[in-house]
Amino acid sequence: MGKNEDIRQKTGSWKMEDIVRERRLRWLGHVLRMDNSRTAHQATQWELRRYKRKPGRPRKNWVEVIKRDLRQMDLTSEEAEELVNDKAEWRRRVAQFGHLDAGRTKVSGDRMGRHGCDSHMPNLEAQRQLVQASRSHNRKPVWGPPC
């Protein structure tokens, strides 16, 4: 196990990519529950016409990244649009996907904390120990991912 994995395991922190993926999918649920007249909801279906892209690999866009995330969850776009209407079930599925992908198995149906990131809160005692260890070796403190 590498150094980053050791630190994440000791502090109970997630990989940043897992946190971003979970929040992206939660945002998708919010956008898809919006009224169809809202610009954010309409933007999920926009396609550029008569657009000539520059040579090389196309840039990733939000819709393509979301489609990849949904494929990893074994959902189609249509299934996701139906599932987001049940907010509790959508949040449970997104949380389960994030937790399982991060090597965790606990899925909480509880409401998130004030900042929506209770599940990402690191083990503070382990962080204090890491800070003490880094100070004793004249290094900068090591912190987990911010919430």
Q: What is the mean pLDDT of each run of 10 residues along the chain (147 residues)?
A: 80 85 92 90 80 82 89 91 92 80 41 44 61 60 50
**What pLDDT does residue 61 have?**
83
Q: What is the pLDDT of residue 9?
A: 82
pLDDT of res. 41: 86
pLDDT of residue 24: 92
Residue 31: how many CB atoms within 10 A of its CB?
Answer: 17
- Please state, in angstroms and as integers, the Cα–Cα distance from residue 22 to each residue in 66, 115, 119, 120, following that order: 11, 14, 11, 11
pTM of the model: 0.59
Distance CA 107, CA 58 (A): 36
Beta carbons within 8 Å of 39's beta carbon, 6+ residues apart: none
The confidence score (pLDDT) of residue 125 equals: 66
Which pLDDT score is estimated for 103? 46
The whole-number pLDDT of residue 26 equals 93
